[in-house]
Amino acid sequence: MSLYSYLLAHDSGSAPNPFRGTCTLAICKPAIRRTAQVGDWIIATGRKNSITHRKLVYAMQIAEKIPQENYFRDKRFRAKQPNLKSKHWHDWLGDNIYQPNPDGTLTQLPGPEKRHTPEKDLSGKYALIANHFYYFGRDAIPLPPSFEKLIHANQGHRKEFPQDLVTKFLNWLERTHKPGLHGDPLDAPI
């Protein structure tokens, strides 16, 4: 089991998408989505100059890793497709945004965010699904000093951590917090 750590530069609720009972990562972070395996953990801390700086925004354990085209077709994740007609902002922010075409290509659905580039997103190839997750968003939690080594404060990600540190961190997280959605995204349009 590996733990991937990265700096969450923009927390709108689309990457990761913590809504509808699962936490999914299907856009952004292509290197993590290509290489992470079922059972691995992903954590992200907040950006500088924000209330989430150096705090844990979310942690998810990967239960499934599925190709983008299968993610789109899977009925379980239809609600993660952006619904711009909804009155609820969280429905606008789906991460299931790449629709398969008959020729095998994928087309990006319209959505509220224009930051996603198909070349980058699709180079990740997979959507990562977590049923076991902790999403704090704007209510990000401070990490005890003993886990500050897990914070990756630059672009990209890091995954080379001592296994005993990862185990201690996961034990602490599971002992001190209940899994699930605990807060709204910092950059949500609310």
* pTM, two decimal places: 0.93
Residue 176, both tokens: 């001190």
Tokens found for residue 172: 């602490």
Q: Evaluate if residue 81 carries a pLDDT over 80.
A: yes
Q: Which of 25-29, 111-115, 151-155 has the lowest mean pLDDT?
A: 111-115
Report, as an integer, the average pLDDT of 33-53: 96
Task: Report residue 155 as tokens.
Answer: 């672009």
Peptide bond preceding 16 in cis form (omega within 30 of 0): yes
Mean predicted confidence (pLDDT) in 101-107? 89
Q: How far apart are CA 157 and CA 2, in angstroms?
A: 12
Domain boundaries, the chain: 3-181
Mean of pLDDT over the chain: 92
